[in-house]
């Protein structure tokens, strides 16, 4: 039986013994095609069963308990049987509708760590560190603090360098853009080995391309200063294929 957001919040009040509201995530699909959101929890239950279908123009709301952390992404070109088994062109998570693991790269990610108490901050970002497949935006819809917009409105598939492109074998169209780390697997691009610190891993021509197109998204591993957002007591709107008007 479905539980209302209001009742969910009251249960959290009782459980935690203090006034800590649930965080409400609204996931909206503004793409012209169906996407299959994938959700992976780092702390707390997997929201929305880990994944579902979201047609163009549709939105869903998912409440999360205080202290929840996890990531959201879009899967595209999916085909699932009645048992929830199948594949996706991008963002595939083990061939399952209800993800139990992360999405295959390249994929655009929205990442969250929700505060455990009313005195703490939420942390969130949109990351292109694992590449890009779909435009994505995160907007704090209430709350206090900086509460910045995070996201990538630009179509990076259309501007993806040839060496980073993922091509659909049927349509021959670009369906995703790899990170330089995934494409070349070197320490300098992956921020590993001798390049595993902020001092030794600098932006590259590829991360600069991502950053110039999407200034409020993570472009490489140590892009924290301009890409990590904070807010207190907010709900969040996650939009696939956002426009400039959504910011």
Helix (H, G, I), strand (E, B) or coil at 121: coil
Residue among 142, 110, 106 nearest 123 (CA): 110
- Helical segments of 176-221, H only: 180-184, 187-190, 205-213
What is the pLDDT at residue 13?
A: 43
User: What tens digit of pLDDT does each residue of 126-182 get?
Assistant: 999 999 999 999 999 989 999 999 999 999 999 999 999 999 988 899 999 999 999
CA 34 – CA 54 distance, rounded (Å): 6
pLDDT tens per residue across span 52-106: 999 999 999 999 999 999 999 999 999 999 999 999 999 999 999 999 889 999 9
Q: Tell me, what's the pLDDT at 119?
A: 82
What does residue 233 show for φ and ψ, rounded to 5 degrees? 65, 30
> pLDDT tens digits for 179-238?
999 999 999 999 999 999 999 999 999 999 999 999 999 998 888 777 899 999 999 999
Bridging pattern class, strands 79-80 and 86-87: antiparallel
Q: Say how many C-beta atoms besides its own lie within 10 A of residue 225's C-beta.
A: 7
Q: Does the model's pTM come out above 0.85? A: yes
In this structure, how many other beta carbons lie within 10 angstroms of the beta carbon of residue 158? 9
Q: What pLDDT does residue 32 have?
A: 96
* Residue 10, pLDDT above cutoff 60: no
Nearest one of 53, 59, 56, 58 to 32, comparing CA atoms = 56
Reported confidence tier of residue 21, pLDDT bands at 50, 70, 90: confident
CATH superfamily membership of 5-156+215-246? Thaumatin (2.60.110.10)
Exposure string for 80-101, b = 16+ CB within 10 A, e = fewer: beeeeeeebbbbbbeebbbbee
Domain residue ranges of the chain, discontinuous segments joined by +:
5-156+215-246
User: How distant is the alpha carbon of residue 179 from its chain centre?
Assistant: 15
pLDDT of res. 20: 60
Per DSSP, the residues of 64-90 read: E-TT-EEEEEEEBS-EE-TTSBEE-SB
Q: How many CB atoms lie within 10 A of CB 245?
A: 6
């Amino acid at each position: 039986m479905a539980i209302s957001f209001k009742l969910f919040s009251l249960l959290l009040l009782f459980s935690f013994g203090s006034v800590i509201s649930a965080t409400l995530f609204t996931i909206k699909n503004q793409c012209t095609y169906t996407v299959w959101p994938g959700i992976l929890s780092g702390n707390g239950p997997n929201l929305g069963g880990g994944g579902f279908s979201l047609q163009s123009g549709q939105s869903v709301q998912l409440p999360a308990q205080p202290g929840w952390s996890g990531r959201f992404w879009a899967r595209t070109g999916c085909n699932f049987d009645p048992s929830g088994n199948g594949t996706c062109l991008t963002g595939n998570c083990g061939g399952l509708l209800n993800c139990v693991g992360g999405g295959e790269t390249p994929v655009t990610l929205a990442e969250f760590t929700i505060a455990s108490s009313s005195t703490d901050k939420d942390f969130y970002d949109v990351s292109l560190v694992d590449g890009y497949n779909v435009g994505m935006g995160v907007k704090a819809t209430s709350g206090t603090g900086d509460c910045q917009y995070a996201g990538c409105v630009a179509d990076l598939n259309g501007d993806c360098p040839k060496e980073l492109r993922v091509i659909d074998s049927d349509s021959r169209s670009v369906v995703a853009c790899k990170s330089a780390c995934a494409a070349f697997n070197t320490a300098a691009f992956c921020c590993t080995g001798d390049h595993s610190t902020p001092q030794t891993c600098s932006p590259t021509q590829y991360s600069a391309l991502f950053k110039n197109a999407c200034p409020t998204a993570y472009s490489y591993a140590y892009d924290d200063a301009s890409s990590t957002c904070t807010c207190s007591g907010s709900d969040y709107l996650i939009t696939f294929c956002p426009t400039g008007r959504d910011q």
